[in-house]
Structure 1
Amino acid sequence: MNHIDLGQYRPNAKGALIPLSTIPEITLLRDDVICKIVQKAKLMNAELKVLKQELFNDITAFVELSAEKYDTKLGGVKGNTTLVSFDGRFKVQLANHDNLVFDERLQAAKSLIDDCLREWTADSRPEIKALIDNAFAVDKEGKISLGRVFNLRSLKIEDAKWLRAMTAISEAVTIVGSKSYVRIYERNEQTQKYEVISLDIAGV
């Protein structure tokens, strides 16, 4: 039984083994460069995961130590924490960010707002309705912008039906997940402003 020397073949995108002798040299070089880049990226990704966990552990341990030793709490809203070095040169922030979405109650709010518009805009310009519709428009992923909808709550309108709609908007917000971030800053001695020490390859 003959055995295939896999070293003389390379699998293509469909998994078929293609003889190296039939693959153009530039294609092989491109494949080698890509594989080396991906390997380096995976190693860095693994190191960043370890670093992230270490940073979280360091901050959490210090906050717990401070609370125990000095009977104080460094964590702010939703556990957000800011630590500044003695000389003020460095700043470390632990921030928690909730992922918010609207549930079905948003449709009830939209219905109430539509009722208001029918009453208010019978003799008004259609641009007003267009502005409201834009607030409820979905993006490419089919999601409604929280920011645009929340902006409606800043309008100074005292109509009872409108206020019920604003309450429905507030109650329609649901937390579907939460992410924690660590941001590290160094103060620029010239501008005296804190600048992020980027751990993102695009920001380096």
Structure 2
Amino acid sequence: MAVKDAKGNWIDPEGNHIPEKYVPAHERREDVLVMTAAESMLAISEAMQQAKSMIMLGIEQYLSELAAENGEDALNVGGNYTWRDFSGVYKVELRNAKIQQFDDRIKVAAQKLERVIDGWAMGAAGRDELKSLATEAFENDEQGRISPGKVFRLQKRLRGMTETTPEIAEVVRLISESVLVVGRKQYISLSRRAEDGSWETVPMDFARI
């Protein structure tokens, strides 16, 4: 339920204390809806955090024992791993992904590429497509960040053009040198084998259920 003071008045986002009788009926129903959902989802979130901690503890113990059995002090938990149960019904995957951003040289790369593309004749083969890819790759998202995935897809496309266009080779170099690794994130996923032999990922978020 909404936050209330000692007298039972409802406290709104501005800190005003509103007697319950003055709270519209639809806002009271909305409050019940939101709080019911919040309590359920927070409980699930906490359970998932506990499950991840338990799974990671088991992974670390498994890798430690595997290393000891083979004469090593330890194995790197920062790598990527895939494990299957004995019967091949389930598959657990651990992936360690880099969190990447770009420094200001990415702006220089974008400007150089734009100048190269604008220098091509209108209607030149691939001009409009490349311009569209570049615009999408260097566009900031709602958080003001550039998507590494989109930039790397563009860079892959540009690499095939470096021999014929030296200016694009400079763009490819600038993109590579502008990459900053600002952290790492671990992903644990569970898959189960379907009747046709394919693997189906067990959904762990509401959007995929």
TM-score clears 0.5: yes
Tell me which residue corresponds to 1:174.
180
1:28 to 1:147, Cα distance in 2 relative to 1, 3 A: closer
Query: What is the alpha-carbon distance in structure 2 between the residues aligned to residue 49 and residue 135 of structure 1?
Result: 39
Tell me which residue corresponds to 1:144.
146
Q: Kindly report which structure 2 residues correspond to 1:101-120, keeping only aligned pairs within 5 A, or say none.
A: 101-114=101-114, 116-117=116-117
SS in 1 for 2:157: coil
Query: What is the alpha-carbon distance in structure 1 between the residues aligned to residue 108 and residue 80 of structure 2?
Result: 34
Tell me which residue corresponds to 2:123.
125
State the aligned residue count: 196
Tell me which residue corresponds to 1:186.
192
Q: Percent identity between the aligned chains?
A: 23
Counterpart of 2:181 in structure 1: which amino acid?
A: I
Larger radius of gyration: 1
Tell me which residue corresponds to 1:196.
201
SS in 1 for 2:98: strand
Provide, for residues 116-160 of structure 1, a one-character-per-residue CA deviation record: whole Å limited to 9, x for no partner. 446x62x45377267336414414434334344332433422043
Answer yes or no: is the 8 Å Cα contact 2:139–2:146 preserved in 1.
yes
Tell me which residue corresponds to 1:160.
166
Q: Which contiguous aligned blocks of 4+ residues in structure 1 show a shift greater than 4 angstroms? A: 71-76, 114-118
Answer yes or no: is the 8 Å Cα contact 2:93–2:189 preserved in 1.
yes
1:114 to 1:87, Cα distance in 2 relative to 1, 3 A: same
Answer yes or no: is the 8 Å Cα contact 1:88–1:187 preserved in 2.
yes
Query: What is the alpha-carbon distance in structure 2 between the residues aligned to residue 111 and residue 31 of structure 1?
Result: 49
* Residue 63 of structure 1, CA deviation: 1.5
Unaligned runs of 5+ in 1: none
Answer yes or no: is the 8 Å Cα contact 1:75–1:81 preserved in 2.
no
1:28 to 1:112, Cα distance in 2 relative to 1, 3 A: closer
Tell me which residue corresponds to 1:67.
67
Answer yes or no: is the 8 Å Cα contact 1:93–1:182 preserved in 2.
yes
1:19 to 1:74, Cα distance in 2 relative to 1, 3 A: same
Pairwise CA RMSD: 3.0
Unaligned runs of 5+ in 2: none
